[in-house]
Amino acid sequence: AQSVAQPEDQVNVAEGNPLTVKCTYSVSGNPYLFWYVQYPNRGLQFLLKYITGDNLVKGSYGFEAEFNKSQTSFHLKKPSALVSDSALYFCAVRDGGNQGGKLIFGQGTELSVKP
């Protein structure tokens, strides 16, 4: 069965510092990995995805993620954090074949960026 794990419930970063939100995955076959962000009282917004190709994926709002097959990881990164990046971040893997499917989410990591 496909699964993702986010080992940190919370990450605290000072504004201007680099940030990393960790995600590891377990899949059979090729992984289709996603990062979504959720701001308070809102739905989820797509940040980026990995399907195939370059291991470094660039996404919205200056975020990027590094796919590492040997470590089965897909960590989200940003070189310089902003206070407005404070939100709940979810890593997800796509389950199912090309007849529909679902996203399996990690438990989420709350990112707090302090001025």
User: In sequence order, what are the residues at sequence separation of 6 or more whose Cβ sits closer than 8 angstroms to the Cβ of residue 59?
Assistant: 35, 47, 48, 49, 65
The CA distance from 57 to 3, in Å, is: 20
Sign of CA dihedral 57, 70, 12, 80: negative
The CA distance from 43 to 27, in Å, is: 26
Is the CB of 58 or the CB of 114 nearer to another protein? 58
Is the CB of 15 or the CB of 44 nearer to another protein? 44
Query: Shortest approach of another protein to residue 43 CB, angstroms?
Result: 4
Q: Would you tell me which residues interact with another protein (CB under 8 A)?
A: 32, 34, 36, 41-46, 49, 51, 90, 94, 96-108
Query: Shortest approach of another protein to residue 50 CB, angstroms?
Result: 9
Is the CB of 15 or the CB of 49 nearer to another protein? 49
Cβ atoms 6, 34 nearer than 8 A: no
Is the CB of 44 or the CB of 82 nearer to another protein? 44
Query: Shortest approach of another protein to residue 38 CB, angstroms?
Result: 8
Query: Shortest approach of another protein to residue 23 CB, angstroms?
Result: 13
Residue 63: Cβ within 10 Å count: 20
